[in-house]
Amino acid sequence: MSIQRLAPAIQRAFSAKGLKAVALSVNSPGGSPVQSALIYRRIRDLANEKNVPVLVFVEDVAASGGYWLACAGDEIYADANSIVGSIGVVSGGFGFVEALQKLGIERRVYTAGERKGMLDPFRPENEDDIAHLKTIQKDMHDSFIDLVKRRRGKKLKGESLFTGEFWTGRKALELGLVDALGDLRTVCRDRFGEKVRLVPVGERRGWLKRRFGLSGERAPAESWGLAFGAGLLAAVEERALWSRFGL
């Protein structure tokens, strides 16, 4: 998810005539903290500008960056079995040092700047590199915690909210991470009446982009292989994110 992709849909949602509220459906296991922050900020800026409430409805998952987005809501609803939370920061990768040795491959890296090659997966781990990464993670985690505390305030309960744990929607309600259990259609009807008009607004993407992350524009034949490979890798990474929550 990125602000570039979602900004047009967000703008359309807040531009509807006779707008009473914006209902945001969140179904995300996370992603870039920067993109989560940018999307959150755009939603809050428009909500304040238009003076309309934002109601967030969690579907399967609002975890990590997904919960960051959920905090853009003035009220957060979830299903009893939704996965909510994971307020933390994670970095992952692989080490290929022994693989290179077995293959008889020598790694050659030339840098200007003694730390430029830090966290190279083809070299043994360095304790200073790990310490530096953890410092960055802590900065990001602190920003996440500050946001949740600012948005949820005195509703929050419990000692393990910021450990990276995640819970069902029912437990998240007890912890103050969501305001109530419910779905978009039922809540909006109860709040605005049976004749409430719900106008779906989503990202506009063609078939190629939906399937492979490609645009509909013509491209050199050799770039198709690269684009397909990048789309496949992104799909694998996304699948890994979802699998962390048993989905």
Query: Which residue intervals of 28-91 are DSSP H helices?
Result: 33-50, 65-70
Same domain, yes or no, for 7 and 69?
A: yes
- Structural domain of 82: 3-90+137-204
Same domain, yes or no, for 85 and 14?
A: yes
Same domain, yes or no, for 72 and 153?
A: yes
Same domain, yes or no, for 10 and 75?
A: yes
Same domain, yes or no, for 156 and 243?
A: no
- Please state, in angstroms and rounded to a whole number, the distance separating the CA atoms of residues 82 and 247: 11
Among 204, 222, 238, which residue terminates a domain? 204
The conformation of residue 161, written as its DSSP 8-state character, comes to T
Among 171, 188, 204, which residue terminates a domain? 204
Whether residue 222 is contained in a domain is answered as yes
Q: Which pLDDT belongs to residue 212?
A: 47
Whether residue 127 is contained in a domain is answered as no
Query: Which residue intervals of 126-168 are DSSP H helices?
Result: 127-152
Same domain, yes or no, for 152 and 242?
A: no
Whether residue 56 is contained in a domain is answered as yes
Per-residue tens of pLDDT for the chain, all 247 residues: 788 888 999 999 998 888 889 999 999 988 889 999 999 999 999 999 999 999 999 999 999 999 999 999 999 999 999 999 999 988 877 888 888 888 888 888 888 888 888 888 888 888 888 899 999 999 999 999 999 999 999 999 987 899 999 999 999 999 999 999 999 999 999 998 888 888 888 765 554 455 444 444 444 544 444 444 445 545 555 555 556 555 5
C-alpha of 214 from chain center: 21
Whether residue 176 is contained in a domain is answered as yes
Q: Which pLDDT belongs to residue 186?
A: 93
Among 169, 184, 204, which residue terminates a domain? 204
Burial of 52 (0-12, 13-18, 19+ CB in 10 A): middle
Same domain, yes or no, for 157 and 61?
A: yes
Whether residue 131 is contained in a domain is answered as no
pTM above 0.75, yes or no: yes
Alpha-carbon torsion (154, 157, 161, 167), positive or negative: negative
Same domain, yes or no, for 189 and 211?
A: no
Q: Could you tell me the CATH number of the domain that includes residue 7?
A: 3.90.226.10
How many distinct structural domains can be found in the chain?
A: 2
Same domain, yes or no, for 175 and 188?
A: yes
SS3 167: strand
Of the candidates 79, 68, 42, 72, the residue with the CA atom closest to the CA atom of residue 56: 72
Q: Which pLDDT belongs to residue 97?
A: 82
Same domain, yes or no, for 151 and 243?
A: no
Q: Which pLDDT belongs to residue 218?
A: 46
Whether residue 110 is contained in a domain is answered as no
Whether residue 122 is contained in a domain is answered as no
Q: Which pLDDT belongs to residue 119?
A: 85
| 14 within 8 A of 52, measured Cβ to Cβ | yes
Same domain, yes or no, for 67 and 149?
A: yes
C-alpha of 247 from chain center: 15
Whether residue 173 is contained in a domain is answered as yes
Same domain, yes or no, for 79 and 148?
A: yes
